[in-house]
Structure 1
Amino acid sequence: MSPVRPDTDAALAAALRPGGVRSVFQPIVELDSGAVVAYEALARGPEGPLQRPDLLFAAAREAGALAELDAACRVAAFSGAVRHGLPAPIALFVNVEPEVLDTAPLDELLAIAAEAPGGLRVVLEITERALATRPAELLRTVARVRELGWGVALDDVGADAMSLAFMPILRPDVVKLDLRLVQERPGPAIAEIMNAVNAYAQATGAAVLAEGIENDTHLAMARALGATLGQGWLFGRPAPEPACDRPLGSLPPPVEDAATDCEPGSPFACLPAGTVLRRSPKALLIELSKQLEREAMRLGETCVVTATFQEARHFTPSTTQRYRDLVERTGFVCALGEGLPAEPLPGLRGTDLAVDDPVRGEWDVVVLAPHFSVALLARDLGTTGPDLHREFEYALTYDRDVAVRAARSLLGRVAPRAHRATPAAPVRPATPATTAPVTMGAERLGDATLVRRALEATPSGVCLVDVRLPDQPLVYINPAFERLAGMPGEELLGRNCRFLQGPDTDPGALARIRAAIAAGEECREVLVNHRGPDRTPWYNELHLAPVTDATGAVVQYIGVQVDVTEQVRAQRALEQERDRTRGYLARIEELSVTDPLTGLSTRRHVEEQTETALWNARCAGDAVALVVVAVDGFTSIEERYGSTAAEQLLAATGQRLRARLRRGDLVARWARDSFVVVLPGLAAGSAGREAARVRAELAEAACGPVLLAGAPVVTEISTGAACFPADGDDVTGLLAVAERAAGRLPVSPS
């Protein structure tokens, strides 16, 4: 454990004293009514370097005081809610840190909650970080919370696929959508999350709460995602005491959970009375299990797989390969059996079953996902003979409650993820034929310590991956790599680097890296990695190079990582600035050919376009019509109603004309009180009739009443038309014919 830095030591001690941590309260509202249904209590440290909660909890975790801080935060939340008179039935949302799930002193808070008028309705928030690392403790905590009559909220759903995988197992009362779902542009990942969450909410009656709602756009997206509750700056920022300026409501009732009606001793015991059992040899169960594993891989990252193996000897090399694929492609996988280690292979959670554990005599495989559930539950009948002929009685059920209960039974036996000690030198398998490359380099230099110190001093992250071991784990990392990953070495070594990646990592870059490793070649890519528990994204310029043994075989890969986030952001900012500049230039060009009053094209612009239309018509044998629309008595209107009202009349007339035209037709403000419409691409034989029809429609549209100075004004309109080639050969000639026609045939409103 690393010591706390001197500048934070005193601040942490102050935070752990009674009253050292305070709570601020942010409202949670019902989106339809705007009523406040709950407040979330957010921890704040004392004034100083640890006031921010992320810094405060990081310091406590580093000092080994996380349990004390977590308890102090809950006491501050409850005491603050009671002190400020949080009225029933308003609920209080509080958090619990994953590391202290099983030992969190929740019972002592009941006395504080009882002081609130009408009691205090509490909802405990569980984050996705607790799901994979401590599933057994998580389930026990949820059971304790339910016994106390409190609710459960699953936080940050969508930030990691693990939350969707565990959602049917935890059965939360409230599903809190991660803020990126309402703030980012929709894509396939958000659609998958929405699909799973809405299915769960519809089946259970759980409330869906969208976080991060800061404006009306976010609010609209939250509603579209199916959220009924909301939280964010649009409804109120965290404040020292709950606000009283909104109507009050209440949360929906808790989710009913049929799967918790009993606590079975084993998955097989979850089968309802009267279930028809079949007899089968082990050979058939193997094939059924493989089929369920294939289903799980098809379901992907939102899937949980739990399985038993009776004894460790049944976890064969072929099983190892299958489960390595499951770990790679699903959300969570655990394997239980007598003699199985806590991690049979990287990423696979294991548990050593006691000889008297009833699960020891079972063959169980459970696959759970948001839209799929199946459980193969079998019991060894103790028959003798060849292993593949051993007989079991079994049931294959798709009953979701049974599958959930069976999965909980197995997950409740999974031990917390073991912490790994950071080795002083690369970890190597006990194989005399190969030697780790760092040691080889040290022997050539004559000083292994010097090489190690050089690696520890470099500001670039350096790691070694052993390609001979299952799942190609990290076997060496330097301090710079730890800093870049935002995690201590014991949480990094022994794991595949993929956990540092996320859904925004370029799959093409990952494919090129895998191809290079498979070919034994070096490669260089820029990846999006994620740092620390909060999964902060950063850009990693990664250089991978193979390391060979004395025979020339690739045994390891050395990776050098450089944080190029600032460079990438600067490049993107430059590109965005270029895009903005191009946009400005396009806008300037657009304004140069647009009449500022009506928004129509300028006379000069339409003249140029009309000349082009006439040229095309000559080549194709088509016709072009030109229509003049003039506002009669415009000067009188201006004198009577004023210049502003007269301009409004022209703007309205221009928009009415444009609304009656085809997509390719041209319209421009031609003079102070007149417009010109050009109709290109007309058939030569019917151009005159088409021009007359459009001319009549435009006259009818333009002479409609316009509201000026509060009174409807009906204007008189004159129109005239001319056609190419019958009436003229150029713009000037066509315009003269059309204007004469407009003067001869004034059109008045009927």
Structure 2
Amino acid sequence: MLRAEEPVVTVTSAAVGIERTGIEQVLLDGGLRSVFQPIVDLDSGAVVAYEALVRGPQGPLHRPDDLFAAARAAGCLAELDQACRAAAFAGAVEHAVVAPLTLFVNVEPEVLDSAPLSRLLALAEGAPGGLRVVVEITERALAARPAELLRTVARIREIGWGVALDDVGADAMSLAFMPLLRPDVVKLDLRLVQGRPGAAVAQIMNAVNAYAQSSGAVVLAEGIEDEGHLRTARALGAQLGQGWFFGRPAAPPPPAAVTGELVLAAAAPVVDHGLTSPFAALPPGTVLRRSAKPLLIEVSKQLEREARRLGDTCVVASTFQEARHFTPATRSRYRDLADGVGFVAAVGEGLPESPLPGVRGATLAAGDPVRGEWDVVVLSPHFAAALLARDLGDEGPDREREFEYALTYDRDVVVAAMHSLLSRVAPRVAPREAAPVAAAAAVASSGPAPGAVVRRGAGPGADLDLHRLLPRALAATTSGVAIADMTRPDAPLVYVNAAFERLSGRSASEVLGRNCRLLQGPDTDPAVVNEIRSAIAAGREWRGVLVNHRGPRRVPWWNEIHLAPVFDETGRLVQYVGVQHDVTDRVRAQQEAERERARSRSYLHRIEELAHTDALTGLANRRGVERFVEAELLRARETGEAVALLFCDLDGFKAVNDRFGHAAGDELLGVVAQRLRRSVRESDLVARLGGDEFVVALTGLDPASAQRDAARVARALADAVIAPVPLSAGVGSVGASVGVGVQPAHGATFAELVRHADRDMYRIKRGA
């Protein structure tokens, strides 16, 4: 099958010449042909389209994965991709797959951006009755080459063809990019139809159906092989179906009892957002606000928090003007984003292609309009938001620089802004050096390339070649070793050792040629599986523990896994090696110990909570506020923010106590505590030191205005306290004197700030 992700295999240097000759001969002879698989309208049963699937001549290049492996090795991938589509069009004309029928063809995104389409367009237009074409894009190209992919889709739209997003659901990344690519057809991965329903299926179903309803896109289910699969496809919301239940690929295509027409929703106009900037995507008449940096920082953090909540179905792209604005604090936040979000990009002048692991970057030329913007764009199937700001060119202190900005939740604007930023993201370049264990395992599984240098020892046993020793070592080790071929569809296992067979409870014949997910089951944590998928998509190592299931009885066991990528000489990912250990006993012991610690922690937490809480008001006590303030002071020194401490002493409290009694005094203190709490932000802390003395800690202040802000809050606290308090015994009335201490002007520790605020309070009380 011709697919965008069709594989690369490891080809030895000696073999390249042979395969190059073979693939070149196939291209010269026109030895490619297409077979056609029907696509059926599930309501009417009519065949409305056919997918063209490539086949080579009988022999070693018959299968599409072998064809594409040879073409990559020979450096003629673009020529093969072009020839495959030409063969699809020629076959469609020969077998009358013409309008009103639609022809689905696959595309190689990494070459289509530069491949000439004029000849193919002429073929399509010159066919009797004309060809109606839908081009399939695979999700594996999304994270690797976003800029090229967006240009590819734009060019497809320009020539009037439709776009299908293939294998949706195989990875959450497809859900994240779906609103951005706006495909006309969404093709559900066959595992959704053939597998068991679960939380992941529900997530995909919700996202796909929401997109289809809002855009008019058609949902197509692949892999329908029986009546049960057909019922599942309908339940998932599919209008079209494809699979052996309706007919296997053939040339000529299997006869159809009834044919019909596939009607696609009108595509949105093609707009090249790469030539503009996110801020320029705002529609005319948008009301712009003005703000200095502190507010925009907090708005940006809130959008980042939303993105983390959305998880791996979310795409985030941000601008930083210059690399110096990508500060250590920002790096920390974006490291967290990369761990939990589907795709993260950061662009700015001087930013590298990978500012952090898992974060895609791009530098901006000085004349790029994005260079003058502050943008944070968040997009997912059910959420869209963007902070779009433009620098006003202030030359004062950096924190006081002003921007004009808009905060928008208009999905069309957010999509345009995201399109603009991702069009600037360079393709990812995979590392060229494989991890040592992965390289060794790869050699063990395939042997050295002909002509490769094999190191030999100098002592006894020096005659043993490395490629003869490693298979024996892997067979003897107690660690399970498995190798997956990343160049073939669904990454099948191509090697397992004896220890892996023992651990999995399955023989090599049962697992070879199948994806390792066959070991997973209902107890396997989907979050861990998503972590693994994200690491593989990024070509990274992964270490962790997850539940697998052993043998035909599916007995759960805890598998500690180290996954390591193997890259070929061009830097392309070709294999993943997994080393595995059964750590069930260790995990169960840890779980029991953790349960015991949790019981102890719960008890100790309650004791700790009581030790830091004022029993009368429920506020923090002196120990609680001191610990809180010291932590905030440390954070403020790292972020450049300020902290203020307000010391509040009640005026006239003794008179209330003397008149109504101590019970009424306690009641009044509870009311005052609540008034103080309601007068400050949730991020601030109110504490009772004892008697009628309270302390309020204000955090995250701008140093330039901290004293003014603290004085304003002090006045608000005094106003809140002074109102009469209805009590059980009557009506009490007190006032408040509030002193202020601000870091760093009045001290750098809790004790110093309390002393200054206390002195300031007495100054106010005496003045009163």
TM-score interval, smaller chain = 0.5 to 0.7
- Whole-Å Cα distance in 2 between the matches of residues 401 and 289 of structure 1? 20
SS of the aligned residue for 1:326 comes to: helix
Aligned to 1:458: 470
Partner of 1:388: 399
Structure 1's consecutive aligned runs of 4 or more residues displaced over 6 angstroms after TM superposition are 423-426, 453-457, 500-503, 526-529
Runs of at least 5 residues in structure 2 that lack an aligned partner in the other structure: 1-10, 438-456, 475-479, 489-514, 533-542, 550-556, 564-575, 583-768
Shift of 1:542: 4.9
User: How does 1:277-676 map onto structure 2 within 5 Å?
Assistant: 277-422=288-433, 458-459=470-471, 484=484, 486=486, 506-507=524-525, 542=560, 561-562=578-579
Structure 1 residues 456 and 562: alpha-carbon distance in aligned structure 2, compared to 1, 3 A threshold: farther
The answer to whether the aligner puts 1:211 opposite 2:229 as a matched pair is: no
CA distance in 1, matches of 2:270, 2:307: 22
How big is the shift at 1:422? 1.9
Q: Are the structure 2 counterparts of residues 389 and 271 from structure 1 closer, same or farther at C-alpha, using a change threshold of 3 Å?
A: same
Retained in 2: the 8 A contact 1:25–1:42? yes
Q: Distance in 2 between matches of 1:461 and 1:99?
A: 39
Inter-partner Cα distance in structure 2 for 1:278 and 1:164: 33
Q: What displacement does 1:192 show?
A: 0.4
What are the within-5 Å matches in structure 2 for residues 6-85 of structure 1? 8-85=19-96
| Whole-angstrom distance in 1 between the partners of 2:266 and 2:365 | 35
Question: Match for 1:70: what amino acid?
Answer: D
SS at match of 1:283: helix
Equivalent residue for 2:206, pick from 181, 195, 207: 195
Alignment of 1:86-101 (within 5 A): 86-101=97-112
* 3-state SS of 1:109 partner: helix
Contact 2:307 2:337 in 1 (8 A): yes
Per-residue displacement from partner, 1:392-425 (whole Å, max 9, x unpaired)? 0000000000000000001111111123232798
CA distance in 2, matches of 1:524, 1:133: 24
SS of 1:168's partner is: helix
Q: What are the residue-to-residue correspondences of 1:154-303 with 2, within 5 Å?
A: 154-257=165-268, 260=271, 265-303=276-314
Residue 112 and residue 391 in structure 1: after superposition, are their counterparts in 2 closer, same or farther (change >3 A)? same
| CA shift in 2, pair 1:265/1:237, >3 Å | same
- Please give the alpha-carbon distance, in whole angstroms, between the structure 2 residues aligned to 1:502 and 1:413: 35
Cα distance, 1:543 vs structure 2? 6.5
Aligned-partner Cα distance in 2 for 1:357–1:392? 18
**Would you say the 8 A contact 1:350–1:415 is kept in 2?**
yes
Over the aligned positions, Cα root-mean-square deviation in angstroms equals 3.8
Partner residue, 1:129: 140
- One-letter identity of the residue aligned with 1:458: L
CA contact (8 A) 1:259 1:404 kept: no
Amino acid at match of 2:92: A
Could you tell me how far apart the structure 1 residues matched to 2:271 and 2:60 are?
Answer: 44
Q: Offset at 1:309?
A: 0.4
- Partner AA of 1:404 in structure 2: V
**2:98·2:132 contact (CA, 8 Å) conserved in 1?**
no
The alignment partner of 2:113 has SS state of: helix
With over 3 angstroms needed to count, the CA separation of the structure-2 counterparts of 1:130 and 1:425, relative to structure 1, is closer
Q: 8 Å contact 1:125–1:154 — kept in the other structure?
A: yes
Task: Give secondary structure in 1 for the equivalent of 2:124.
Answer: helix
**Residue type matched to 2:86 in 1?**
V
Aligned 8 A contact 1:8 1:49 in 2: no
Letter in 1 for 2:380: A
What whole-Å deviation, never above 9, does each CA across 1:623-676 have from its counterpart, x for those lacking one? xxxxxxxxxxxxxxxxxxxxxxxxxxxxxxxxxxxxxxxxxxxxxxxxxxxxxx
- CA-to-partner distance for each residue in 1:563-614, whole Å, 9 max, x for gaps? 799xxxxxxxxxxxxxxxxxxxxxxxxxxxxxxxxxxxxxxxxxxxxxxxxx
**Contact conserved, 2:110 with 2:148, CA < 8 A, in 1?**
no
Amino acid at match of 1:374: A
Residue 20 of structure 1 and its aligned partner are, at CA, apart by 1.4
* Residues 271/221 of structure 1: CA separation in 2 closer, same or farther (3 Å cut): same
Q: How far did 1:164 drift?
A: 0.5
In the alignment, the residues of structure 1 paired with residue 472 and residue 293 of structure 2 have an alpha-carbon distance, to the nearest angstrom, of 52
The structural deviation recorded for 1:63 is 3.0
Q: Is the 8 A contact 1:86 1:116 kept in 2?
A: no
Counterpart code for 1:75: A
Question: Mean Cα displacement is larger for which, 75-84 or 60-69?
Answer: 60-69
Report how far residue 105 of structure 1 moved. Answer: 2.5
Task: Please say if residues 525 and 546 of structure 2, whose CA atoms lie closer than 8 Å, have aligned partners that are also in contact.
Answer: no
- For the residues of structure 2 that align with 1:88 and 1:32, how far apart are their CA atoms? 20
On the 8 A contact 1:22/1:43 being kept in 2, the answer is yes
SS of the residue aligned with 1:458? helix
Task: Give the Cα–Cα distance (whole angstroms) in 1 for the partners of residues 473 and 102 of structure 2.
Answer: 46
- Of the structure 1 ranges 14-23 and 326-335, higher mean CA displacement relative to structure 2 is found in 14-23
Q: Secondary structure at the match of 1:299?
A: helix
Q: Which residue pairs with 1:604 in the alignment? A: none
CA distance, structure 1, for counterparts of residue 262 and residue 121 of structure 2: 20
Contact 2:561 2:580 in 1 (8 A): no
Q: Distance in 2 between matches of 1:9 and 1:261?
A: 38
User: TM-score scaled to structure 1, two decimals?
Assistant: 0.60
- Larger RCO: 1 or 2 (CA < 8 Å, sep 6+): 2
CA contact (8 A) 2:481 2:580 kept: no
Q: Distance in 2 between matches of 1:120 and 1:242?
A: 16
Q: Mark the CA change 1:343 to 1:264 in structure 2 (over 3 Å): closer, same or farther.
A: same
Letter in 2 for 1:294: R
Change (3 A) 1:461 1:337: farther
Q: 1:276 to 1:226 in 2, by over 3 A?
A: same
Letter in structure 2 aligned against 1:326: L
Distance 1:501 1:336, change over 3 A: farther
Post-superposition offset of 1:51: 1.3
Contact 1:44 1:51 in 2 (8 A): yes
Residue 152 of structure 2 corresponds to 141
Change in Cα spacing, 1:192 to 1:524, as seen in structure 2 (3 Å) is closer
1:532-582: CA deviation from partner (whole Å, max 9, x where unpaired): xxxxxxx9965679xxxxxxxxxxxxx9944799xxxxxxxxxxxxxxxxx
Displacement after TM superposition at 1:36 (Å): 1.1
What amino acid sits opposite 1:178 in the alignment?
D
Secondary structure, counterpart of 1:103 in structure 2: coil
Q: 1:319 to 1:148 in 2, by over 3 A?
A: same
Q: How many residues align?
A: 487
Matched residue of 1:17: which SS? helix
Q: Is the 8 Å Cα contact of residues 481 and 579 (structure 2) preserved in structure 1?
A: no
Amino acid of the structure 2 residue aligned with 1:214: E
Contact map agreement 1:282 1:392 (CA 8 A) in 2: yes
CA distance in 2, matches of 1:372, 1:365: 14
In 2, Cα distance between equivalents of 1:419 and 1:326: 21
Pairwise CA distance, 1:65: 2.4
Alpha carbons 2:291, 2:403 under 8 Å: kept: yes
Q: 1:91, CA displacement in angstroms?
A: 0.8
Are residues 353 and 187 of structure 1, via their aligned partners in 2, closer, same or farther at CA, if it must alter by over 3 Å?
same
Q: Give the CA deviation at 1:6.
A: 7.0
CA contact (8 A) 2:482 2:579 kept: no
Shift in alpha-carbon separation, 1:455–1:53, aligned structure 2, 3 A: closer
Secondary structure of the equivalent of 2:118?
coil
Letter in 2 for 1:103: S
Cα distance, 1:365 vs. partner? 0.7
SS in structure 2 at match of 1:239: coil
What does the per-residue CA deviation read over 1:669-698, in whole Å, with 9 as the maximum and x for residues that have no partner?
xxxxxxxxxxxxxxxxxxxxxxxxxxxxxx
Per the TM alignment, residue 459 of structure 1 is displaced from its structure 2 partner at its CA by 4.5
Question: How far does residue 68 in structure 1 lie from its aligned partner after superposition?
Answer: 1.7
The 8 Å contact of residues 482 and 577 in structure 2, kept in 1 or not, is answered as: no
